[in-house]
Every structure is written in C-alpha cells, then in structure tokens.
Amino acid sequence: MKATIEEIIIRYLEEEATLAEQDELLSWLRESKEHEQMFLVYYDVWSLPRQLAFDPQVALKKIYPLKRRSRKRVIWWTTSIAASVAILFGVWFLMDNQRPETADIRYVVQQYNRDILPSETEDIRLILSDEKEVAVKDKTETTITYLDSDIEIDEEQSLSKTEVAEFNQLITPYGKRGTLVLEDGTKIWLNANSRLVYPAHFTGDSREVFVEGEIYLEVSPDKNRPFIVWTDRMNVEVLGTSFAVSAYKQESHSHVILASGAVNVYSEEHKRKKQALSPNQIYELSTNGEAKVAQVPDVTKYTSWINGIYQFESESLSSILHLMERFYGRQIELSDEAGVLTCSGKLRLNDNFNRTLQGLSQTLPIHIEIKDNKYYISKIAE
C-alpha cells in the first residue's frame, strides 16, 4: 500500500521517511503554495507540543545579568511572566497535571544566589529580608523554629515575624550546622556549607524549598500539599517522609537517600522520568546527567551528621576525609597508601578540624603535615 502524502509528511517529521518518500515530498511541496502551507501546519502541530520542553520562563532568567534585585521588580516580573506563560502552558497541564508550580521559589533563588556564599561566611546566618539578617555567633549548631507569631533561635532569642520577606534563607558555613523547624512542623537539618531557601509561610498547594549543599528532612505529612525539594539539577517530591538530599555544586555527584516513606526524584534534564525511591535506596545523579539507583545497607552513614557525628563502618580513609574536606572546607592531600586504610567509628562534628584529625591519627598509622594551609597525610611505614 502506497503511503498518502499526509503519512509521508508525518514520517518525515519523525525522521523515518525513506529517500523515495522524501523525493515524493519534495516534488509535492514544489507543486503549490497551498502544499507548502499545509506542510507548515503539520510542522506546527508536530512541534508545538514539544516546544513546551523549551521553557522561555526559565531561559529568560539566564539572559539577564543578575542585577535586578529590588522587590518591586520581582513582583512585576513574576506576575507578568505568569500571565503570559499561563496561556502557553495550557497544553502542559492537560498532559501532566502533576507538574508543580515552580516559578516563584526558583526565581527567588536566582535572585539570591550571588549574594552570600556559604563557604565565605563565618557564622550561621538567617536572612529574613533584604534588610533583616541574623548572624548566630560562636556556635557550631543552631535551631531555628518558625512559630505562628514569631521565630525562635535556640529558644533564647525571639524575632518578630513582621518585616519578614516572603522567602527566607538559612546559610551554614564550613564546620557548622543548622536545624530549621518550619510552620507545618517539617524539620530540616542543614549540613556544613549549605544554603536553604524557603518560604516564611507555606501558601498555595505545595510546600517548596530550594537547597544547595546537604540537608536531611522529616516532612510533616500533608496529603493536599506535597513537599518539593529543588536543587540545581534534581528535584524531590514527597508527601511525608524522611530523607537526605546532597547537592553540592563542587561535587561530581548529587544524591537523595530515603530513610522512610516514599519520594519521587527527577533530574532537571529529564523532568518526566520520575524515579520512585523506597527506603534504603539511593538515587545518584552525576554531573554528566547519568542517574542511577542503588540499595544502601545502612543509611546512617549518610544521615548521622544530623546528630552531630559522622558514623562509619570499615570506611576507607579517603572517603572519610572527603567528607571532612567538605564539612570543614579544608584542603587535604592524601597519599594512595594512606587512602586505602579503613576505619570504623564516629567523629564528632562539633570538634574542630585539627582535633578530628588528631583522633584519626590515634587509630590509624598516619602522619600529618600542615603546609600553606593544606594538610598532607601519608601512611607511616611499618
């Protein structure tokens, strides 16, 4: 049976037309303007739904130098984009009504990102608005609680909720950790060198936060308002559950580990390929976009930091020190022989780095030398 011209056009668009069919299409197109017009309509029908994959709203943010910060502008911006995109995205919702409303928090993050780098601050910082900021001095860990009427810091200090912007930030520098209790009871632990952006109030039909670095969450169940964790490259959707997200920019892998409950994870690149995780599973995403899921025998290795310790079982010194490097922000040069030494135990994260290293050197045959702020570790010959 000979294919109709309509079938040939579609096969051509799908990259499946044979050379003979392509020839036929070409002569048909040359016959008249009407034929060209007809082809273009097929092209539109075929390509328009896919254009949704290219999101002008997301792209536009990358275009402008990130200078505009005044609040008025942000509001103008988001509403104007929302209005024009709403129409554009009509088809989208029809296709996938699970897609969360993302514009706001991610736009805000774009605005914030260049402000303060966690790695360059000394204190844990709570940023409540452009004008209002609290530095938690002389503490290696802190707990911040959002109550109905105010915000409490370590049950010692209370801040009024007036003059608090829509989105707040908690920033932890190297060597320090923070815990945040949100209005809905969700508890989030921040590891060192991390930034969490979150709304002061949860409004709308989802609860969304953005993280750079590492967090552990115990999400309060709320069937009607899913909780979404955004990172640069992957996103996690949950209803109520406990899990850890690690998304350090400088690391080659980001990961999500589920302790209990259930979550859906997906990468920025493949938004529609959602991966469901069950407890004790790890989802790992590498910088080249490859995602894999594996079983982990024991999640405590990944989550014990929330209790102020790093706990490990016959772990190689190289991976222990990698964690230390990340936590304390120090540069460590490790010899190959020393790197393969294994060790079990706990490290206390409230200790300073030198003390932690000292502890390691008491259990392992290693020699430590400090030169130009860099730590050289080698194995002592037996």
Partner 1 sequence: MDKRNREFDLLFQKYYSELCIFAYRYVTSKDVAEDIVQELFCHFLESGTVFRHEDGESSLRSYLYTCTRSRAIDYLRHAGNRHARLEDHAHNIELESYVENMLINRTEEYDYRVLLSEINTAISALPVKTKRVFLMSRAEEMSNKEIAISLGVSIKAIEKHMTKAISHIRAHLQKNLSIG
Q: How is residue 380 annotated by DSSP? A: P
For position 67 contacting partner 1 by CB under 8 A, the verdict is no
Question: What is the closest distance, in whole angstroms, from the C-beta atom of residue 36 to partner 1 in the complex?
Answer: 6
- Among the listed ranges 83-91, 169-177, 186-194, 331-339, the one in contact with partner 1 (CB under 8 A) is 83-91
| 87 is an interface residue for partner 1 by CB under 8 A | yes
Specify whether the CB–CB gap between 247 and 213 falls below 8 A: yes
CB of 212 to partner 1, least distance (A): 21
Give min distance, CB of 281 to partner 1, in A.
Answer: 23
Q: Which stretch binds partner 1 (CB under 8 A): 91-99, 154-162, 242-250, 347-355?
A: 91-99
Residue type at position 134: V
Residues in 6-45 at the binding interface with partner 1, rule: CB under 8 A: 6-7, 10-12, 14-16, 18-19, 22-23, 25-26, 29-30, 36-45
Q: Check residue 371 for interaction with partner 1 (CB under 8 A).
A: no
Pick one of 66, 75, 79, 80: the residue that binds partner 1 (CB under 8 A).
80
Q: Residue 64 interacts with partner 1 (CB under 8 A)?
A: yes
Q: How many CA atoms lie within 13 A of 37 on its CB side?
A: 3
What is the footprint of partner 1 within residues 217-276 (CB under 8 A)?
A: 269, 272
Closer to partner 1 by Cβ: residue 81 or 364: 81
SS3 for 17-45 is CCHHHHHHHHHHHHHCHHHHHHHHHHHHH
Give pairs for 235-242: CB < 8 Å, separation 24+: 235/265, 235/266, 235/267, 235/268, 235/271, 236/263, 236/264, 236/265, 237/100, 237/263, 237/264, 237/265, 237/266, 237/274, 238/262, 238/263, 238/264, 241/217, 242/216, 242/217, 242/218
**Residue 215: helix, strand or coil by DSSP?**
strand
Task: Output the CA–CA distances (angstroms, integers) from residue 290 to 22, 86, 267, in the order listed.
Answer: 36, 32, 9
Told to check if 381 binds partner 1 by CB under 8 A, we report no
Q: How far is the CB of 97 from partner 1 (least distance, A)?
A: 12
Q: Establish if 54 lies at the interface with partner 1 (CB under 8 A).
A: yes
Q: How far is the CB of 63 from partner 1 (least distance, A)?
A: 6
How far apart are the C-alpha atoms of 347 and 309, rounded to whole Å? 5
Backbone angles phi, psi at 286, to 5 degrees: -95, 165
Instruction: Please tell me whether residue 376 adopts helix, strand or coil conformation.
Output: strand
User: Which residues touch 60 (CB under 8 Å, ≥6 apart)?
Assistant: 81
Among 53, 97, 149, 336, binds partner 1 (CB under 8 A): 53
Rounded to a whole number of angstroms, the minimum distance from the CB of residue 59 to partner 1 is 6
Of the candidates 2, 50, 137, 371, which one interacts with partner 1 according to CB under 8 A?
50
- If the CB atoms of residues 14 and 156 are measured against partner 1, the closer one turns out to be 14
Q: Does 88 bind partner 1 (CB under 8 A)?
A: yes
Q: How far is the CB of 112 from partner 1 (least distance, A)?
A: 19
Q: Which of 159, 132, 131 is nearest to 147 (CA)?
A: 159
Among residues 85, 153, 164, 368, which is the contact residue for partner 1, using CB under 8 A? 85
Q: Nearest distance from residue 33's CB to partner 1, in Å?
A: 10
Minimum Å distance from CB 309 to partner 1? 40
Q: Which residues contact 187 (CB under 8 A, 6 or more apart)?
A: 179, 180, 181, 217, 218
Q: Is residue 63 involved in binding partner 1 (CB under 8 A)?
A: yes
Instruction: State which of residues 75, 91, 294, 340 lies at the interface with partner 1 (CB under 8 A).
Output: 91
Residue 208: CA atoms inside 13 Å, Cβ hemisphere, count? 21
Residues that bind partner 1 (CB under 8 A): 6-7, 10-12, 14-16, 18-19, 22-23, 25-26, 29-30, 36-57, 59-60, 62-64, 68, 73, 76, 80-81, 84-85, 87-88, 90-92, 94-96, 269, 272
